[in-house]
Chains A and B, each alone.
Chain A
Amino acid sequence: MTTSDDTIVTDDRVYECCVLLPFPLSQKEEQDAMKEIEGYFEEAGAKQMAKDSWGRRGLAYPIGDREEGIFVVYHYEMDPSKLKEIDQQMQISTTILRHMLIKPPKGYQIAKYSEEYETWLKERKTVSEQKEEEKEAEIKRKVAEKAKRQAKKVEEEKKARPPTVPEKSVIEEDKLSEELEKLISDDEIDI
């Protein structure tokens, strides 16, 4: 008797089960669906190692006329001979959209990807913001360069026409100042 028990224990392997549920589900229905799935495994005498519900997530393509779904990832330790029964039961059930049973490789460490995905989304946002900032900085730099170029052009133009313009202006200024002095010196005008 003891030997048979021992063999069963050694035969148990870790299996990964990913299930896709349709998104518009009420909380009761969702819990019922999860209980249903867990029930299949419990019937087979499986031991739950980890459960990771990702929650609502968009699908890359419509499955069963649905654009969004709920992902749930289970890790079970169970007898490989009962895998077929579970697979068939999952295929028959109407609540599950897609399911997948996988044997993870040796030395696989169970990680929660739901949290990683959220952190990645946040980081991605920051990355996009950084890109925008860089773009703005580039535009500013270009504007500054343009302004510099325009200033240089103006200076060059000034240097190009020094002989004509300033003399006239000087003369005009002299004339203006003389007239102004005259006007000021005239006592006849009353303001």
Chain B
Amino acid sequence: MFQPSQSRRGDPRQKKCPFCDKGTKYIDYKDYPTLKPFTDYFGNIRQRYYTGICLKHQKMLRTAVQRARFMGMLAYRK
């Protein structure tokens, strides 16, 4: 009996960029609380596909995370 999978995972196309909603123009590397949820357990940056961030903000996030990693606020690898 095949049952259509109930929508446990939402449609990734329906996600909205959390930074666009706030209207952020610059993501600061010192802002640990905002950066932390966009990194996974191993310290990698989460994929845009899962977080729903737009490309512009993903690039900003990347530079911020790289800077934070250099200063020892975020881990390179766990």
Residues of A within 8 A of B (CB): 18, 20, 59-61, 63, 69, 71, 73, 98, 100, 102, 104-105, 107-108, 111, 113, 116-117, 120
Contacts and interface: CB of A to CB of B under 8 A. Distances in A.
Interface size bracket, B side: 10 to 19
A52 B21 CA distance: 29
A99 to B, nearest CB: 9
Given A73-B30, A116-B31, A116-B33, A107 B25 contact: yes
Given A102-B67, A111-B28, 18 more contacts: A18-B30, A59-B72, A60-B72, A60-B73, A60-B74, A61-B72, A61-B76, A63-B72, A73-B30, A98-B72, A100-B70, A100-B71, A104-B26, A105-B25, A113-B31, A113-B32, A117-B33, A120-B32
B33 to A, nearest CB: 4
Nearest to B72: A59
